[in-house]
Structure 1
Amino acid sequence: MKRYCMACDLKDDPKLIEEYKSYHAKGNAWPEITKSIQSAGIVDMEIYLIGNRLFMIMEVDESYDAAAKAKADAANPKVQEWEELMWKYQQELPWADKGVKWVPMERIFKLGE
Structure 2
Amino acid sequence: MNTHYLALDLDEQLESIVSYEKWHENVWPEVKKSILDSGIVAMEIYRSGNRLLMVLDVNEEFSFEEKAKMDAINPIVQEWETLMDRYQKRLPWAKEGQKWVLMERIFHLSS
TM-score class, shorter-chain normalisation, is over 0.9
CA separation in 2, counterparts of 1:92 and 1:21? 18
Residue deviations 1:46-105 (CA, integer Å, cap 9, x gap)? 000000000000000012111111001000000000000011000100111122110000
CA distance in 2, matches of 1:111, 1:37: 30
Task: Give the equivalent residue in structure 1 for 2:41.
Answer: 43
Q: Which residue of 2 aligns with 1:22?
A: 22
Residue 12 of structure 1 pairs with residue 46 of structure 2: no
Give the Cα separation in 2 of the matches to 1:23 and 1:110.
34
1:92 to 90, 95, 100: 90
Using the size of structure 2 for normalisation, the TM-score is 0.97
Aligned equivalents of 1:67 and 1:99: distance in 2? 14
How many residue pairs were aligned? 111
- What runs of 5+ residues in structure 2 fail to find an aligned partner? none
Gaps (5+ residues) in structure 1? none
Contact 1:92/1:98 (8 A) holds in 2 = no
Q: Cα distance, 1:109 vs. partner?
A: 1.1
Runs of 4+ aligned residues of structure 1 deviating over 6 Å after TM superposition are none
The residue type equivalent to 1:66 in the other structure is F
1:106 and 1:68 map into 2 onto residues whose CA distance is 21
RMSD value over aligned CA atoms? 1.0
Match of 1:81 in 2: 79
